Structure 1
Amino acid sequence: MNKSLVLAAIVAAVALAACGKKEEVVAPAPAPSVVVVPAESPSASAAAAAATGAASAATGAASAAADSANAAVSAATDAASAAGSAATSAGAAASAAK
């Protein structure tokens, strides 16, 4: 009896497996890609010209800042030299006073 029951279960499982339908999944075709290249408008040209002008102004400002920095370095060097000379003179005067 147990063998009959096991055999019947196996036959039923095989029958159900054979009768089952396998569904195929169909993937949709990809949409064709479209590349849109916008035409250059007058406002884009004006914006490009403004950007070029701004870059030129920034370059000029950076150059002026570099010139100012060089002048400041020169002034500081001159001041340090003068301070060194003053210290030497003060030392000589203190030695002479002894």
Structure 2
Amino acid sequence: MKKILYTLLFLFTVSTVFTGCREKKDNNIEEVIDDAGDEVEDAADDVEDVVD
């Protein structure tokens, strides 16, 4: 049950990141991609910490 909850939390976080990226039209595409990658890594680390 915990794994399902953490998976859903991770997917929600990732979807929020990508939705937020579409709203930033004034930023360079590379910066947005880097920011999204950083957010995904941070979310993955948070989920990993909670699982441990």
Q: For the superposition of Structure 1 and Structure 2, which TM-score range results when normalised by the shorter chain?
A: 0.3 to 0.5
In our comparison, the structure showing a higher alpha carbon Rg is 1
Higher RCO by CA contacts (8 Å cutoff, separation 6 or greater): 2
- Which structure: greater helix fraction? 2
TM-score by length of 1: 0.26
Q: Give the alignment's TM-score, normalised by structure 2.
A: 0.48
